[in-house]
Amino acid sequence: MKTCHLYSLFLFTPLLLIFSCLQIFAESENEFIIVDRGKPTATIVVSSSPTPSAVLSALELQYHILRITGAELPIKDDSKPISGRKILVGDNKFSAELGFIGKNLPSQEYIIAFRPKTIVLIGKDWENTEANRHELGRPMSCGSTLEDTRQKIDYWATVGMPERGKYEIELPGVYDDQGTCYATYHFLEHFCGVRWYGPSRTSIIIPKTKTLIVKGTDIRRAPALKYRDALWSGFWPFMQKQWGPVTREEVYLFWRRLKLGGEKWAGNHTFHKQTLENTFFEPEYQAKGVKNTTQLCYSSPVLVEKVVQIAQDFFDGKNNVPYGWKAVGNYFAIVPDDNLKFCQCDRCQELLRSGRKMRTGQFSSGEASNYIFSFINAVAKELHKTHPDKYITALAYWVYALPPEFDIEPNVSVAPCLHTCYYAIHKEMYENDMMLYHEWLKKCKAPIFLWNYYHHPMEAGLIGGFKCFPNIMVHKTADIMRKFINDSVRGIFICGEQDMLEGYVIAKIWDDPSIDVDALLDEFFTLYFGSASEPMKQFYLTIEKIACDPNNYPEPYYKKNGIDWKNVAWTTLGTEQRMETLGSYIAEAEQLASTPEEKLHVYQWRQALWEWMCQGRQEYLKSNPKN
Ligand SMILES: [Zn+2]
């Protein structure tokens, strides 16, 4: 019996057994034959009224096994007896008989269980009931209602097999329970060797074998981080070109495959122009003595009353929050608009004056913390009387990034906004962030969430019309994410898009912070670039080494509260000599790439990163000839 060569490549698939032999073999007790020499030997079983998560899981299993083996496993419901091996997907009659009830599991927990001639893939799923359909909320992404997060796709067209016929399904909402999907994706990844490095078909690694046997012991787990909001769309240059052309529907599937989304949480600016026009137009709420502002009089008791009422109505299911606000699940966000045109009344000004000593000289500061958090506290205190299990979400951001001088109400769930993309290279910003982050950890009794900035330097470049040096810091990112999870942070929202690999590593760490990042990177380069893996790995890690070395950011590019990204990029980062070295890795990779897939992957990475860098340097030298 010869074990397929693929086995040794899948470092994270120790349980995967793929045989390519021709002789008959016996299935040992804890082995399960899914496909035998191109013939399906198991049935995928769902309930006769499956959840959206079970529907997607069954299709994803069928599709990926078809791609791996060429064999199509039938999907049947539990209304009739089924003989032979079964893969039980989600709650159904057969899984219940074995004692597995997905709906009784905690949110996000899932089970993969091996029983004689049976595999169980199950978790708690959102159910398509009228009450669930009517749940109110304004989520962070995908649209303005929870219904918008449940995108509809034509499944077979999305996965590139339109010849199988039209099959429209509704995906489980990004923030809906979908434990069965988690179990299924875990199974496909760790037992069948599939890797979803991106949403496009060319960025998914699917092993090939005619016989697929899996073996293992039961697994019961949940993703470590409960809210995982990095719904990358490929709108930013690196990811876009690394992925290659993608459809929206492929991206929607990709988010589910990486277990992105999770718990219902939201926190972003709530008081803005539209809120003022539609909800707070009466003079009693308005900021005094300042024109054309979107701030309100946050010390006003009637404003507190009004916001408490909106929160109560939301949690009672009476009214959704005003358009543009953020509130989902147990969280109702209160975040002022993004400007400093605060109310000039005596009460507001006194609170603002009390915070003057809390200036840090950094973007994240505290001069308005006493002011803003006294308002948030006032709302939270009232809400607690009627809804003790609900939270007010607050961002700790900009002039109210530091905790206030007073205690924070126990039902205020704070999300510090942290400059994670500077941590490798900017001491002052890192220390300032860590100072306020740890103070919040000490101060908050409610769950802590984070808003992580990954939009520098790319956003500055896109707005300022220059090409930045790729700010790859995958190891530093993995380390800080691990720390956040170990500190019991409950969820993270990512602002901006990194390159596809750093993004992938983030999703994996969020799921399981114990993973070995170097092994994950090795596996990626081996599977993705094959013969060209070594130079591509050197190319990536060399960029990371350059980008993460503080010595490469001397003054005047290094400023106490930031980096001059434009002028540092092609002077002390992408120097002539370093560009020569990086170019030689790309040339070597192009020479070594042998299969069409390897060639395509090298080409895509060349377009995404290397061409970008060459153009960036050329453009810089053209406008700054003396360099
Ligand atoms: Zn005021």
pLDDT digits (tens, 9 = 90+) for 516-533: 999 999 999 999 999 999
| Ligand 1: centre distance to CA 139 (Å) | 30
| Ligand 1: centre distance to CA 274 (Å) | 20
| Ligand 1: centre distance to CA 371 (Å) | 10
Instruction: Please state, in angstroms and rounded to a whole number, the distance separating the CA atoms of residues 190 and 146.
Output: 31
| Ligand 1: centre distance to CA 334 (Å) | 17
| Ligand 1: centre distance to CA 410 (Å) | 25
| Ligand 1: centre distance to CA 345 (Å) | 4
Instruction: Please state, in angstroms and rounded to a whole number, the distance separating the CA atoms of residues 107 and 103.
Output: 9
Residues 6+ apart with CB under 8 A from 356: 367
pLDDT value, residue 273: 86
Instruction: Please state, in angstroms and rounded to a whole number, the distance separating the CA atoms of residues 426 and 417.
Output: 16
pLDDT digits (tens, 9 = 90+) for 179-213: 999 999 999 999 999 999 999 999 999 999 999 99
Check pLDDT > 90 for residue 625: no
What DSSP string runs through 430-457? HHHHHHHHHHHHHH--SPPEEEEE--TT
| Ligand 1: centre distance to CA 320 (Å) | 27
**Residue 327 neighbours by CB distance under 10 Å:** 28
Give Cα separations from 620 to 47, 495, 579 (angstroms).
61, 27, 14
pLDDT value, residue 2: 33
| Ligand 1: centre distance to CA 349 (Å) | 7
Both tokens assigned to 368: 């308005």
| Ligand 1: centre distance to CA 449 (Å) | 29
Instruction: Please state, in angstroms and rounded to a whole number, the distance separating the CA atoms of residues 399 and 403.
Output: 10
| Ligand 1: centre distance to CA 269 (Å) | 19
pLDDT digits (tens, 9 = 90+) for 386-438: 999 999 999 999 999 999 999 999 999 999 999 999 999 999 999 999 999 99
| Percentage of the residues of the chain whose pLDDT score is greater than 70 | 95
| Ligand 1: centre distance to CA 373 (Å) | 14
Average pLDDT of the segment spanning 558-584: 97
| Percentage of the residues of the chain whose pLDDT score is greater than 90 | 92
| Ligand 1: centre distance to CA 390 (Å) | 27
| Ligand 1: centre distance to CA 310 (Å) | 20
**pLDDT band for position 27 (50/70/90)?**
low
**pLDDT band for position 5 (50/70/90)?**
very low
**pLDDT band for position 627 (50/70/90)?**
low
| Ligand 1: centre distance to CA 347 (Å) | 6
| Ligand 1: centre distance to CA 308 (Å) | 18
| Ligand 1: centre distance to CA 397 (Å) | 20
| Ligand 1: centre distance to CA 343 (Å) | 5
| Ligand 1: centre distance to CA 319 (Å) | 27
Region at 175 (left for phi over 0; alpha for psi -120 to 50; beta for the rest): alpha
State the pairing for strand pair 195-196/42-46. unpaired
| Ligand 1: centre distance to CA 273 (Å) | 18
| Ligand 1: centre distance to CA 293 (Å) | 12
| Ligand 1: centre distance to CA 285 (Å) | 8
Tokens 């596996």: give the residue. Answer: 523
